[in-house]
Amino acid sequence: METGPQEKRMIHYDLLRILAAFSVVMLHSAGQKWYVLPVTGREWQIADAWDALFRFGVPIFVMISGAIFLNRDSSIRRLYCHNILRLLVTYWIWSGLYGLYDCRNYDLEAAGWKVVAKEMLSGRYHLWFLPMIVAVYMLLPILRSWVKNAERKNLEYFLMLFLILKIGMSTVSALSASYLVEYAAELLDAMEIGMACSYIGYFVYGYYIVRYGIPKKWHRAIYIGVIPCAALNILLDRYLSIRAGEPVGQIYDSYGVFTFVIVTALFLFFTDVMGKVSYSGPAARIIRELSEATLGVYVMHVGLLEILEERGIDTMLLPNIVGIPLMALGCYAACSLLAACLRRIPVLGRYLC
């Protein structure tokens, strides 16, 4: 969600960032009743389908960061003072605010300050993205030096490892619970393969597409592949969840192969097609404003969904095939507006969102 300097920013990545932020709001809106509805029911299957269709957000955020930051020289001092510090402070502020909100009904005298402090440090499940991207940024000087001097085949070797050992293995694990698959997964865990084959894979992948691209002959196949991949995400997770008797969701997570194809198609389309579109001054300003609000949308939307749900306003007020996208659109709009206001608070606004 971090952006580069104003003169270097690319509008097509602003658009892609907006879409990625909306996808995160969409999947969390779909997830409101995901754990409580029976997996054999129509309502759960609709919610799961929306969830499966909008799982591309986090990989897209990481690929945008890789495409921008790995192509740009900056000092370690600036990296820590400008990017890492901001994200850490934002994480601590919102973890604290969510924790205080959770303590609103506590008997504080009986609970004690340690319980309050623990709640404030625990934050919310969706905030995991901020320390994760901070960890990637901490490796940025090393990664930048490597990709700048690496031959293309070295980058492709790294991405092949990512594709096989992370994307491939995650997909196989989701589809099969055999002894051999479990053994392979345990072996990869023992090898600490996640040190290399994690979101850093998506980070480098974004850079690779911008620098080298994907051969034109593959573009149409990738774009067409989005439809069967989306369908397989939906149908396979429905089957796996009914088989397990409970929601599963692993097949379409960030490392699922079908989600990987969708992420590739979106990033390629916005890089190769939308990057060539010219935007008028007013349109560019609106797009940039919405793009600048994406961090705020990310940190705030879960809180807004929870507040509304506590007051009986959730995705089930209407048939959830329309209730989920309407809730997501309303939540996204409200959080974007609030983020635009908070960002304009002197000094503090930068660290709020």
53-73: pLDDT as tens digits: 999 999 999 999 999 999 988
What confidence category does residue 180 fall into, taking pLDDT thresholds of 50, 70 and 90? confident
Whether the per-residue pLDDT at 7 is higher than 70: the answer is no
> Mean pLDDT across the stretch 311-325?
95
> Mean pLDDT across the stretch 17-27?
98
The answer to whether 235 and 204 have CB atoms below 8 angstroms apart is: no
Does residue 129 fall inside a structural domain? no
Does residue 114 fall inside a structural domain? no
> Mean pLDDT across the stretch 118-140?
91
Does residue 304 fall inside a structural domain? yes
Q: Which residues contact 46 (CB under 8 A, 6 or more apart)?
A: 320, 321, 324
What confidence category does residue 108 fall into, taking pLDDT thresholds of 50, 70 and 90? low
Element (H, E) at 14: helix 11-30
Tell me what percent of the residues of the chain surpass a pLDDT of 70: 96
Does residue 301 fall inside a structural domain? yes
The Cα–Cα gap between 41 and 38 comes to 5
- Tokens 């929306």 appear where? 50
164 to each of 5, 77, 188, 199, how far by Cα in Å? Answer: 35, 35, 11, 14
The Cα–Cα gap between 352 and 219 comes to 39
For the chain, what is the domain count? Answer: 1
Total Cβ atoms within 10 A of residue 119: 19
50 conformational bin, left if phi > 0, alpha if psi -120 to 50, beta if neither: alpha
State the average pLDDT for the chain: 91
Tell me what percent of the residues of the chain surpass a pLDDT of 90: 78
The Cα–Cα gap between 79 and 58 comes to 21
Lowest mean per-residue pLDDT among 96-100, 103-107, 128-132, 168-172: 103-107
Does residue 289 fall inside a structural domain? yes
Lowest mean per-residue pLDDT among 129-143, 203-217, 257-271, 274-288: 274-288
154 to each of 71, 102, 151, 197, how far by Cα in Å? Answer: 17, 48, 5, 15
The answer to whether 170 and 256 have CB atoms below 8 angstroms apart is: yes
Whether the per-residue pLDDT at 79 is higher than 80: the answer is yes
190-203: pLDDT as tens digits: 777 776 778 999 99
> Mean pLDDT across the stretch 216-233?
96
Total Cβ atoms within 10 A of residue 131: 14
- Three-state SS string over 49-68 comes to HHHHHCCCHHHHHHHHHHHH
Residue of 16 and 1 predicted with greater confidence: 16
What confidence category does residue 315 fall into, taking pLDDT thresholds of 50, 70 and 90? very high
pLDDT at 9: 63
Residue of 334 and 124 predicted with greater confidence: 334
> Mean pLDDT across the stretch 226-239?
97
pLDDT at 211: 95
> Mean pLDDT across the stretch 229-237?
97
Whether the per-residue pLDDT at 6 is higher than 50: the answer is no
259-289: pLDDT as tens digits: 999 999 999 999 999 988 888 889 999 999 9
Q: Which residues contact 295 (CB under 8 A, 6 or more apart)?
A: 1, 2, 90, 339, 353
Does residue 236 fall inside a structural domain? no
- Domain hosting 324: range is 25-37+284-345
Residue of 63 and 104 predicted with greater confidence: 63
> Mean pLDDT across the stretch 20-45?
96
Does residue 185 fall inside a structural domain? no
> Mean pLDDT across the stretch 291-312?
96
Half-sphere exposure of 259 (CA within 13 A, CB side): 30
Does residue 100 fall inside a structural domain? no
Whether the per-residue pLDDT at 109 is higher than 80: the answer is no
